[in-house]
Structure 1
Amino acid sequence: MSNLAYEQARSPAPSFDLTGKRVVVVGGKRAIGLGVAQAAHDMGAAVTVASRRRISAEERPDLASFDQIVLDIRDEAAVKAAFDSIGFFDHLVVTAGPELGSWGSFMDPDMRGVRSYLEGKFLGTWACARHAAPYLQAGGSMIFLTGGAGARAKFGLAAVTPTFAAVESLSRSLALELAPIRVNTIRPGFVDTDFWDVLPAETVEEIRAKVRANFPAKRIGTPADVGHAAVFLMTNSYVTGTVLEVSGGELLVDWIF
């Protein structure tokens, strides 16, 4: 048998099936993280979701299918304890991050905003990856989450752009350091979730209208769109060290957010 035939024979056929796999979604109780958790569960995975607050199934029936843990990724000791308690699993997805607008502006009187954002996004992602790595099973993967601002700077996002770029660089570095564990990043565009609820309703509706009018996909993104991409990255064993854009073509057009 030739080397090519041997490789093809031993490589599993592509499948989105996650039956028998265990997936941990940090930030998985709301917004994009919840979309990822639901997509993995639909494909057969046992899913653990983590966030800063435990939420009862009575309060949120949509969380009834998942195991829950309480975790603040800014606390490295808590991150280590969480993964020690979870034990061995197959796929890590880190979607957690600070709230919209929490980063402040470049000329703030102090740097508390940017320090908090870096700690909550970049260093929090780093801590999750570091303490999860010893527990990832063979064939496992990590997925991080950024956004379009990581590739295209926008006014008022001076803290966000370099932080997202750092997370994407981290995923490429870890794809080498942790191989054969695969490490990738998803870069979503505008996804319509309660993440935007801190803005006035009329502002959010204006953003939605701009997305529909300007993005090549001509529609608003959903958590399920990102969930589908995450399952692809979990199940395709030949994708690592990449940034998968799930944005409706956001970076192809000029639009004002």
Structure 2
Amino acid sequence: MTHVLVIGGSSGMGLALARHLLDRDTSVTIAGRSAERLADAATTLGRPDTLRTGQVDITREDEVRRLLAATGTLDHVVVTAVDARDAYFPIADFPLDDARAVLGTKLLGPWLVAKHARVTPGGSITFTSGVAAHRPGPGASVLAAANGALEALVRALAVELAPVRVNAVSPGWVDTPVWDVLAGPAKAERLAAMAARLPAGRIGTPDDIAEAFTAVQRNGFMTGSVLHVEGGHRLV
């Protein structure tokens, strides 16, 4: 049975991906920092025969090494983990420690996963970039830099780790719990305003992104690529 590790699988896009994979008779391990959220996700998914959980902070190499030793050889690895709580500040007010934390989660964490993962030849590692690499807004300087660097990392690792395939999915605005942090009570208003701008006419859903991840996994001729799933955000 195919075994997929989803780091960031306890909520949002990662949780949706885990559900899609389990519905296709895939063995799935979801991992994240919060044991409580992992337990809640496992209860929600309800597949104790094919679902496992693992606690990890991907900015800590010892924890990444421990998780990937426990999972053994994998067919696919997906990293959706993100911590957006302190990712947006005007550059004049951006605390250096917060900037380093963003880079740790979005860039160095995925790099550590690629460093320690054991993936079958022809299998894949897929990271999560974001539209900020291409259409950054005010306050997104570090997030834009991290996503842009992550996409460069994808190309480098696709060469270095071949025949393991390395790609990224780049979402736009997606209705996930991250927006509860970023927008608070103004979440619905902000998402509606963006939906009105997008050629697709709506905000993305976690299922939209989950389908993109599964497409990347299934396409054995895709490596070193970034799949943009953002409703046309780069065009407006």
Contact 2:167 2:223 (C-alpha < 8 Å) held by counterparts: yes
Query: Which of 44, 55, 80 is matched with 2:65 structurally?
Result: 80
Q: Deviations over 1:31-82 (max 9, x none)?
A: 1111121122222210000001223787442243221000001110110111
CA distance in 1, matches of 2:122, 2:143: 32
Query: Which of 76, 100, 105 is matched with 1:91 structurally?
Result: 76
Contact 1:100 1:196 (C-alpha < 8 Å) held by counterparts: no
1:64 maps to a residue whose letter is: G
CA distance in 1, matches of 2:38, 2:131: 33
Is 1:62 matched with 2:47? no
Unaligned runs of 5+ in 2: none
Contact 2:31 2:38 (C-alpha < 8 Å) held by counterparts: no
Is 1:45 matched with 2:26? yes
The TM-score with structure 2 as length reference comes to: 0.92
1:36 maps to a residue whose letter is: L
* Structure 1 ranges of 4+ moved more than 6 A: none
Looking at secondary structure, tell me which structure has more helix per residue: 2
CA distance in 2, matches of 1:77, 1:86: 14
Q: Report how many aligned residue pairs link the two structures.
A: 232
Change (3 A) 1:216 1:182: same
Query: Which of 188, 203, 207 is matched with 2:186 structurally?
Result: 203
What is the alpha-carbon root mean square deviation over aligned residues? 1.7
CA distance in 2, matches of 1:49, 1:245: 24
Q: Percent identity?
A: 37
CA distance in 1, matches of 2:52, 2:215: 22
Change (3 A) 1:120 1:227: same
Q: Which residue of 2 aligns with 1:13?
A: none
Contact 1:105 1:159 (C-alpha < 8 Å) held by counterparts: no
Range 100-109 or range 111-120, more displaced? 100-109
CA distance in 1, matches of 2:94, 2:84: 20
The TM-score with structure 1 as length reference comes to: 0.85
Unaligned runs of 5+ in 1: 1-19
